[in-house]
Chain A
Amino acid sequence: MKKLTTLLAATAIATLMAGSAWSKTLVYCSEASPEGFDPGLYTGGQTFDASSRTVYNRLFEFKHGGTELEPGLAESYTVSDDGTEYTFKLRPGVKFQTTEYFTPTRELNADDVIFSFERQYKADNPWNKYVAGASWEYFSGMGFPELIDSITKVDDLTVKFKLKRAEAPFLANLGMDFASIMSKEYADKLAADGKMELLNQQPLGTGPFTFVAYQTDAAIRYKANPDYWAGKEKIDDLVFAITTDAAIRAQKLKAGECHVMAYPNAADVAELKKDENLTILEQEGLNVSYLAYNTLVAPFDKAEVRKALNMAVNKQAIVDAVFQGAATVAKNPIPPTMWSYNNAVEDDKYDPEAAKKMLEEAGVKDLKMKIWAMPVARPYMLNARRAAELMQADLAAIGVTVEIVSYEWAEYLKLSSAKDRDGAAILGWTGDNGDPDNFLDTLLGCDAVGGNNRAQWCNKEFDDLMTKAKATADVAERTKFYEEAQVIFKKEAPWNTLDHSLVFVPINKKVSGFVMDPLGIHRFNGVDIAE
C-alpha cells in the first residue's frame, strides 16, 4: 500500500513537472549536498542555501547584499528600556506553503515562532532530539541557551522574548538561518503520524520557494511559492544541480547547463571572465585569517615583539601564492564589508630592516618559534602550510627560526585553544550574522581566553569597549566603540591579520537581480532570467 501511494504521489509530481515545461527555470550549480533541510541542525552554507534561504523566512531578514536588517515575518518590534524584553508583532496573513505532502489549514501565528525556538533548547520538547545527535550547533554557538529566559505568546500575532541580559546583537542573530520559522501545524502532523524525521527531509515554510524533491547528491528542485507574502517570484522553477567539482561547475556554467555557480576555482576566474555570456560578481567574504601569537608566553607578551614579527611578513606574497590574488591583505580583525570597519587604521608596514631593529631593541635575540598550520583548507585560508612556509622564509630574513607544526584538524582546534600553547597559530573566522561583535568580542574578548581567543589576549580597554557596545542598541554609537577597539587592536597586535578572501559568483548574463551576499549565502528571491 505504501508503495502504491508513493507511486501515485510520484506520478502526480511528474505530471506537474511536465506541465511546467514552458516555465522559467533557473539552475544553480551548488558546491555540495545539503546536510539536511532543517537549518537549525546544521552549520554548512550549502544547507542554508537549500533550506533557510529558499523554503523559510525569519522574523528579520538581512537586506539583499548587506548585513543590515529588515523586517521579515515580524512587521515591527518594541524593546524594553533595560533591553531585556523584545516584543514582536507578526506579519498578518502569511500562508505556509502547500505541497504534495502537506496542506496547511491556518496562517502563521505566535505558536509557530515559539515552536521554532523552543525545540532548540528545551530538553523536554519532543523535537529537541528528533534526529540522532541533534545538537543545535548555531543556537548554542550564539549563546542562546544562556540568553533566553522565556518566549511567550501575547496574542496570535504577538510574541515576547524575555532575555536574561541586554544583548545588542540579538536582533541580528534572529536573521540567522537557525532562527528560521517552521510550521507547528506541519510538525504536529508529522509527530502524530510518527514520521518526525521528515521535518528534516521534506521542509515546509513560508519562504519564496516551495520544496519539490531532493535527489540525493544530484539535484534539489523547488517551484515558486504562489502564495508568497511578498509576491510570487519571477522564476517558476529553481533547480540546484549539486556539482562538487569546481572545474566541472565552471564547465556546466559555460555550457549553459546552469545559470549561477558557487565558488569557482580562483584559477578559473580569469578564464570565466573572458566568456562573453558570463558576468563575474566579486566581493570580499565576511571572513578573516590571522596568525595568533600566544600573548601569555614570553617574548610574545610584549607588543613590540609582536609588531616586529608582523612587520617582517610580506602578506601580499601570501595572498599571491595561496589565493592567486583572490584575496585582500587584512589590516583589521573584521572584514571591510562589515559596518564599523575602521579604514583609518594603518597596517604594520612590511619592512624587514625596521623589524630586525625593533626586535633587537626589545632585547630579543636568536628567537626560535613555532608556527601552527591548519591541516585543512578553509575559505579564509586555502593552504595554511604554504602560508606558513612563506612566513618561515620571511622571518628567517630577520633572524627568527620558525618550526612549522600541524595536527589533525580536531586536535588542532582543541590544542590551539590551550593557554600554554607553544607558538603562533594560523586560524580564521567566517562571520555568522554580520555584527562586529561576532568577530571582535567572540575572538578577542577576555571571556574567550582559553577558547576562541587564540591569542589568549585580554586587554582591559578593549574589553570595556566590547561590553559597552553590547549594551547599546544604537548602531551609530556602537560603531564608534568598535572603531576605537580596532585602533587598540592594531596598537597591541595580538594577531598578525593575514587576509580576507574574495568570493566570486559567476552568473549567466541572462540572469538579472542576483546580488552577492556578504554572509556567503546564495539567495534566489528577486532573481529573474531572460528567455
Chain B
Amino acid sequence: MLRFIFGRLAVLIPTFIGVSIIAFSFIRLLPGDPVMLMSGERVMSPERHAQIMTDLGLDRPIYIQYFDYLVNLLHGDFGSSIVTKRAVLDDFLQLFPATVELSLCAIILAVALGVPAGVLAAVKRGTWLDQTLMGTALVGYSMPIFWWGLLLVIFFSGYLGWTPVSGRISLMYFFPQVTGFMLIDSLISGQAGAFKSAVTYLILPTIVLATIPLAVIARQTRSAMLEVLGEDYVRTARSKGLSPFRVIGVHALRNALIPVVTTIGLQVGVLLAGAILTETIFSWPGIGKWMVDSVFKRDYQVVQGGLMLIAAVIMIVNLIVDVLYGFINPRIRH
C-alpha cells in the first residue's frame, strides 16, 4: 500500500512542476507588461517604469525568474497581487473556506438526492419513474448553470422574495471568522438568527452548484446498480428469498457504490469549475469569484498563484480519492 501511495506521489511531483511552468508562462505570454497597467491612463516615465520592473524582478532573464519563483514556492510564497499588494496565499486561505463550504454542501446535496434517485431508477427500470428521473437527470446534466442560477434568483429572490440575492450572511450579523465556515462560525457566535440567515444565503448557490454533479451521480448510480443487479450473487440472494430491500440495500448498493465513490471524487474539478460561475452569479466571496475578478483586473500575479493553488488542491484530492479507491478495491493497485 505504501508503495502505491509513494508511486502516486512520485507522479505528482513532475505534474506539479509542469503546472508551475504553465502558470508561470501565462503571465509572460501577455502582450504589454503588467507595470503599464498599474498607472492606467497616466503615463509612467521610462526611468520609473524600469525601476518598478527591477523592483518586481521582471527585468531578469526568464529562466532565473522561473527558478526564483520555484524557490519561493517551496517557501510557501506564491507571490503578491499587483493590485492589492497582498500575498496571494493569504487571500487564498481567506477565501478558500467559503468555496469549500459551498462545494461541500453541494456535494452532500448531490449525493443525498442522486444516489437514491439512481437506485430507484435502476430498481424500477423501464417504468415511467425511471424515465422521469433519468430525463430530469439529463436536463440537469445539460444545464447552463449560470442561466439556471439567474432563473432561481429571478424567481425565489425577485418574485417570491424568499431568499437573499447575494452574499454569505445578512449584514445584520457580524462575528469574527474562526473557522471560515459561515455555518459553523454563526453557531459559535451564539447570535440569535445568525445560523438561519447563513442557511438562507447558502440555499440557492448550493442548488445551482449541485445540479450537474447530482445528474452525473444519479446516472452513474443507475448504471452501476443495473450492472450489479445482473450479477450472480444478487440473483442468488434474491432466489434465497431475501427481502428486496435487503438485496438492494445491502448487497447490491454496497458494490454499486464503488464506482460511484470514484465519480464523486472526480467531481472536485467539476465543482471548482462550477464554483467559478456560481460564485460570480451570487457574489459569493470564494476563490472562483476571486479568480474571475483577478482575470478581469489583469492581476496576473494572482492568476498565476491561484492557478497553482487550485491545481494543487485538485491533485491532492485526486490522490486521496486514488488511495481510498486503492483501499476499497485492491486490484487496481497493480
Contacts and interface: CB of A to CB of B under 8 A. Distances in A.
A245 B166 contact: yes
B174 A17 contact: yes
Among A200, A244, A417, residue most surrounded by chain B Cβ atoms (within 10 Å): A244
B36 A216 contact: no
Interface in B210-231: none
A135 B32 contact: no
B55 interface: yes
A452 to B, nearest CB: 5
B178 A131 contact: no
Nearest to B82: A133
Interface string B35-55: 011111111110010001001
Contacts of A410: 30-34, 36-37, 298
B236 interface: no
B189 A14 contact: yes
Contact of B80 (A18, A131, A245): A131
Contact of B41 (A27, A257, A408, A428): A428
Main secondary structure of the interface of A (DSSP, over half): mixed
A10 B167 CA distance: 21
B101 interface: no
A7 B176 contact: yes
A76 interface: no
Among B56, B80, B167, B191, residue most surrounded by chain A Cβ atoms (within 10 Å): B167
A75 interface: no
A503 interface: no
B116 interface: no
A133 B30 contact: no
Contacts of B30: 408, 410
A217 B39 contact: no
Contact of B289 (A200, A217, A409): A217
Interface stretch (A35-43, A102-110, A314-322): A35-43
A239 B171 contact: yes
B83 interface: yes
Contacts of B168: 218
A35 B84 CA distance: 4
Interface string A339-368: 000000000000000000000000000000
A408 B34 CA distance: 11
A248 B33 contact: no
Contacts of A140: 44, 48
B32 A41 contact: no
A161 interface: no
A365 B61 CA distance: 50
A215 B177 contact: yes
Contact of A218 (B91, B167, B191): B167
A41 B38 contact: no
Interface in A124-144: 129, 131-135, 137, 140-141
A248 B165 contact: yes
Contacts, number: 129
A140 B175 CA distance: 39
Contact of B283 (A129, A135, A245): A245
Interface string B79-118: 0101111110001001100000000000000000000000
Interface in A395-446: 407-414, 417, 427-430
A251 B85 contact: no
A417 B36 CA distance: 12
Contacts of A18: 191
Contacts of A409: 32, 37, 298
Contacts of B48: 140
Interface residues of B, number: 49
Interface string A211-245: 00101111101000000000000000001010111
A41 B45 CA distance: 18
Interface string A259-290: 00000000000000000000000000000000
Main secondary structure of the interface of B (DSSP, over half): loop
Given A133-B56, A217-B289, A407-B31, A10 B80 contact: no
A239 B82 CA distance: 27
Given A13-B176, A216-B285, A221-B174, A408 B31 contact: yes
A162 interface: no
Nearest to A215: B177
A138 to B, nearest CB: 9
Given A6-B176, A13-B176, A252-B165, A427 B171 contact: no
A451 interface: yes
Contact of A133 (B42, B85, B189): B85
Contact of B176 (A10, A129, A131, A427): A10
B290 interface: yes
A44 to B, nearest CB: 8
Contacts of B289: 217
Given A243-B166, A248-B166, A135 B52 contact: yes
B293 interface: yes
B158 interface: yes
A131 B82 CA distance: 11
Contacts of B298: 409-410
Nearest to A212: B174
A307 B318 CA distance: 65
Contacts of A451: 43, 45
B32 A217 contact: no
Sorted from nearest, which 5 A-B pairs have the closest CB atoms?
A410-B32, A10-B176, A217-B285, A411-B32, A451-B43
Interface of B: 30-34, 36-45, 48, 52, 55-56, 80, 82-87, 91, 94-95, 157-158, 165-168, 171, 174-178, 189, 191, 283, 285, 289-290, 293, 298
Given A257-B171, A378-B41, A430-B41, 8 more contacts: A43-B40, A129-B55, A135-B55, A251-B157, A251-B158, A413-B41, A451-B43, A452-B41
24 contacts: A7-B178, A9-B176, A14-B174, A14-B189, A14-B191, A27-B171, A36-B84, A132-B85, A133-B56, A134-B85, A135-B55, A137-B38, A200-B86, A239-B171, A241-B167, A245-B283, A251-B157, A407-B32, A410-B31, A411-B36, A413-B40, A413-B41, A430-B41, A448-B43
